[in-house]
Amino acid sequence: SQQGEEDPQALSIQEGENATMNCSYKTSINNLQWYRQNSGRGLVHLILIRSNEREKHSGRLRVTLDTSKKSSSLLITASRAADTASYFCATVSGGYNKLIFGAGTRLAVHP
C-alpha cells in the first residue's frame, strides 16, 4: 500500500515563481526523500531528510519535515521551465532502501 499522499496532484506556475509540494505519510520513518521524474524517464534523487532533522536546503530546494504531523514539504524557489517534471516523496521505515512512494505532484513551469 502507498505510504504517502502528495498535494497538490498537479501544479502550474510561471517561471520565477516558487513551487511548494506537500507530502503526508502514515507510519514512523527513518528518513524521507524527494525524487524528480521527467516524462518517460527514471527517477533522480533530489534530497534526503532524516527523521531527526526539521529542515534541509540544497541549491534552490528547501525541504521541511514535521514528524508530529507526519508531513513534509518541498519548496522550489525561482522555478525554471526545466523544473517541469513529476515530484515524488518516498519514505524509508526499515533497515534498507525499501522506498514507499506517494502518487506524485506533476509540476508544469511555463516560460
Question: Is position 44 an interface residue for other proteins (rule: CB under 8 A)?
Answer: yes
Cell matching residue 92: 524509508
The contacts of residue 41 (CB under 8 Å, 6+ apart) are none
Query: Rule CB under 8 A: is residue 111 a binding residue for other proteins?
Result: no
Residue whose CB is less far from other proteins, 29 or 100 = 100
97 in contact with other proteins (CB under 8 A) = yes
Q: Are 29 and 93 in contact (CB under 8 A)?
A: yes
User: Does residue 34 belong to the site contacting other proteins (CB under 8 A)?
Assistant: no
Region near other proteins per CB under 8 A, out of 13-21, 38-46, 54-62, 76-84: 38-46
Member of 12, 45, 54, 57 binding other proteins (CB under 8 A): 45
- Of the candidate spans 11-19, 57-65, 71-79, 93-101, the one that interacts with other proteins by CB under 8 A turns out to be 93-101
Which CB sits closer to other proteins, 9 or 18?
A: 9
> Which residues make beta-bridge pairs with 17?
none
Residue closer to other proteins by CB (options 39, 68) is 39
- Please name the residues in contact with 72: beta carbons below 8 A apart, sequence gap of 6 or more: 22, 23, 24, 25, 32, 34, 49, 63, 64, 65, 66, 89
Closest listed residue to residue 83, CA positions, set 32, 53, 44? 44
